[in-house]
Structures are given as structure tokens and as C-alpha cells.
């Protein structure tokens, strides 16, 4: 089991490689490739915790702090790479690139250090520094740089406001449904990013489904937040 524990940690560390590859893709200006590598890193982050619990890495490799390791890699893929993309590819108005990147980095440091970032039922309390998803939406929705800048400001503020955000892998309520919707979202997103020759009708259906999946997650966010203010 000790060997398996080290393999699980090695699997987690693979996220660093994908972070580096995403950085190279960003320097080359290839955003779809950036999203590809970040998606693999997201998959690794989504399953490594479950693997760690199954193998019981804390028991078999007590010399390695998997939580710190996971947080380092998450910060690279969720925060550092997206902030670099925003700066390097000028996704905000001229002159505001450094300010935007710095705001993301500083606010996200608070998010990662916040001991109250997760609720008892594993929702995130405050915007959970999903900047990799934010730049993905900038790309898909083709938002202009001014909208992008004010979105960054708004989400930075929301990092300090206790709105509850779904963690589809950890929240037990409607977990199967949430994971199913997440898979649909991932398929829709993949088609949007990488399949250019979809027929018009299929493309419209795909975008409609993509919006529906987003409304599902927004709905759960709203309902869980309201629950705090209007308990039964």
C-alpha cells in the first residue's frame, strides 16, 4: 500500500507538468491548447482526492502532506496560469493587464488560505478562485476586454461574500445528478472549443445545452445560498 500511496502522490504531481505545458501554450497564444492542458489538470484534481482516501495515503506516507501538495498545484492551474493568460494575451483593456493579474493573484491567496472556504456540506463559501473556468468563459462567449475587466473585479469582490458554490465531487446532495450534468457540460465545452464543422442545428443545440448546464449549477448556488438566510 505504501507504493500505491506514492503513486497517488505522483499522480497528483502530474498536475505540475500540465501547468507547465499550459504556460507554454499560453506563450504561443494557443488558448484552445491551454484549455486542453488545464482540463487534464482539472481531471487529476477531481479524482486524486478520492484515490488518496481509498489508498489512505495519510497512513502509508505520513511524511508527505498531500493537502499542501494539492493546493500548490491547484494554485498553479486555477490561478497562476489564468492570470498569466489574462496578462500575456491582453484579455483586458490596455494598461490594465498587470492590475488584473495582480488582483487575481492577491485575492486568490486569501481564498487558498481561508480556513472557512468550505461549508460543513462541502460547498465553497465565496468565489472559489476558478479563474481557469473564467478565462474559458471569456473565450467561449467572446466577451470584450472591458466586460472581462469588470468581471474580474466583481468575482474578486465575491471571493469575500459568503455565496455558496457547488463542489460537484464533494457535495453529497444531488451528487449523481451534478456529476451527470458536469459530464454534459464537459462534452458541450469540448465541442465548442475543438469541433468547428458542426452543422448549424447541432451547434445551436450544443450551445443551448451548454447554457442549460450552466443554469443548473447557478441554480444550486442560489438555492444553497438562500438556505443560509431562510432556514427551515
| Torsion angle of C-alpha atoms 118, 38, 40, 20, degrees rounded to 10 | -110
Q: Are 41 and 33 in contact (CB under 8 A)?
A: no
195 and 156 together in one domain: no
Q: How many domains are there within the chain?
A: 2
**Rounded mean pLDDT of 118-139?**
95
Beta pairing partners, 125 = 164
Average of per-residue pLDDT across 140-155? 97
pLDDT band at 38 (very low <50, low <70, confident <90, very high): very high
- Are both 171 and 149 inside the same structural domain? no
What percent of the chain stands above pLDDT 90? 70
Q: In this predicted model, what pLDDT tens digit does every residue of 187-229 receive, in sequence order?
A: 999 999 988 776 767 888 999 999 999 999 999 999 999 988 7
Question: Does residue 25 sit in the same domain as residue 133?
Answer: yes
Question: What average pLDDT is seen over the chain?
Answer: 91
Predicted local confidence at residue 232, as pLDDT: 63
Q: Kindly state whether residues 156 and 218 are assigned to the same domain.
A: no
How far is it, in rounded angstroms, from Cα 209 to Cα 136?
17
Please indicate, yes or no, whether residues 155 and 87 belong to a single structural domain of this protein.
yes
Q: How many CB atoms lie within 10 A of CB 225?
A: 16
Do residue 140 and residue 47 come from a single domain? yes
Residues across the chain: 232
Q: Which of 168, 172, 169 is nearest to 216 (CA)?
A: 168
DSSP letter for each residue of 179-204: HHHHHHHHHHHHHHHH-----HHHHH
Amino acid at each position: 500500500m505504501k507504493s500505491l500511496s506514492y503513486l497517488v502522490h505522483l499522480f497528483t504531481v502530474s498536475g505540475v507538468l500540465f501547468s507547465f505545458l499550459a504556460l507554454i501554450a499560453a506563450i504561443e497564444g494557443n488558448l484552445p491548447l491551454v484549455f486542453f492542458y488545464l482540463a487534464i489538470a482539472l481531471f487529476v484534481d477531481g479524482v486524486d482526492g478520492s484515490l488518496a482516501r481509498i489508498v489512505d495515503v495519510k497512513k502509508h506516507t505520513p511524511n508527505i502532506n498531500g493537502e499542501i501538495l494539492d493546493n500548490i498545484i491547484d494554485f498553479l492551474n486555477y490561478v497562476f496560469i489564468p492570470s498569466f493568460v489574462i496578462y500575456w494575451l491582453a484579455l483586458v483593456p490596455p494598461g490594465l493587464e498587470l492590475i488584473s493579474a495582480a488582483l487575481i493573484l492577491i485575492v486568490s491567496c486569501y481564498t487558498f488560505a481561508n480556513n472557512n472556504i468550505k461549508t460543513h456540506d462541502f460547498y465553497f463559501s465565496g468565489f472559489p478562485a476558478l479563474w481557469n473556468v473564467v478565462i474559458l468563459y471569456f473565450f467561449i462567449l467572446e466577451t470584450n476586454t472591458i466586460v472581462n475587466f469588470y468581471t474580474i473585479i466583481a468575482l474578486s469582490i465575491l471571493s469575500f461574500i459568503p455565496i455558496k458554490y457547488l463542489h460537484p465531487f464533494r457535495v453529497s446532495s444531488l451528487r449523481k445528478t451534478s456529476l451527470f450534468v458536469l459530464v454534459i457540460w464537459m462534452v458541450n465545452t469540448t465541442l465548442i472549443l475543438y469541433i468547428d464543422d458542426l452543422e448549424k442545428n447541432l451547434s445551436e443545440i450544443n450551445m443551448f445545452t451548454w447554457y442549460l448546464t450552466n443554469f443548473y449549477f447557478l441554480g444550486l448556488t442560489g438555492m444553497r445560498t438562500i438556505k443560509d438566510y431562510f432556514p427551515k
